[in-house]
Amino acid sequence: MGDAADEEAGLGADAPSGEPQAPRGHEAGADDIPVDAPAAERDAARAAQVGGLARAALAMDELAMTDAVRSALRQDGVAAAWDQVLVPVLIGIGRKHAATGSYVEVEHLLSAVVSRCLVTVSPPEAAGAGRQGRGPVLLACAPDEQHSLPILALAAALAEAGTPRLMLGARVPVPALAAAIRRAGAHTVFVWSQTAETGDASWLAGLPAPRPPLRVVVGGPGWDPERLPPGTSFAASLSEALDALQTP
């Protein structure tokens, strides 16, 4: 991030991607979030949004956090707010935690605020009747996967686009996902894995095979895209996932 943007956003310098931020002087684990936000470099307004949310999160100021998340979602729409405001702050707080072992409470509060805002910004009725007869898109986390924010963002973005979806949430057991596919007449399923522990893809091949065939799309750093069953596609971003899930 450039100096001006740093100044405005009150954020720390970037850590290289994937590397923890080194503790600084007597302020080891100082109260800023290392944000790696290319969009923020280009756009001072975006930097202010990212910085505002990061500062509110570190101050555990729930009202300011809610305001920051809500206004990003309303002003920019779900996909842009997720990619350019929420993801940089979430990744930043993850780095902060990795570097210090602290800030778990900030992760929890930020997750709670982001979840609530995503759920309320695009309620299920926003999707309307959608594609009659095609059934919904199912969204689920892999078994034992607790990181559900990305599928909440996807659910909100699909609702915003008028696409019917069913959000099954965190830690969905394989038999429950299979039953949901049959019961809901789903045509497409998206499964999120955040960490390698939940990224075993072998079970995906055993999902029900309705007619027309079920489309299976996965996303998240937990999967190895080279080791997916044939016919399963990998989405690397929210917008790639939206494209894959909305293709007729």
Residues at the site binding ligand B12, with contacts judged by CB under 6 A: 87, 90-91, 93-95, 97-98, 107-108, 111, 115, 144-150, 153-154, 194-195, 219-221, 235, 237-238, 241
Residues forming beta bridges with residue 139, ordered by sequence position? 167, 190
Helix (H, G, I), strand (E, B) or coil at 200: coil
Longest CA pairwise span in the chain (Å) = 63
**Degrees, nearest 5: CA angle 57-61-65:** 60
DSSP single-letter state for residue 125: G
How many whole angstroms separate alpha carbon 155 and alpha carbon 238?
10
Q: Cα Rg for the chain, rounded, in angstroms?
A: 19
Terminal Cα distance for the chain, rounded? 40
Asked if residue 212 has a cis previous peptide bond (ω within 30° of 0), the answer is: yes
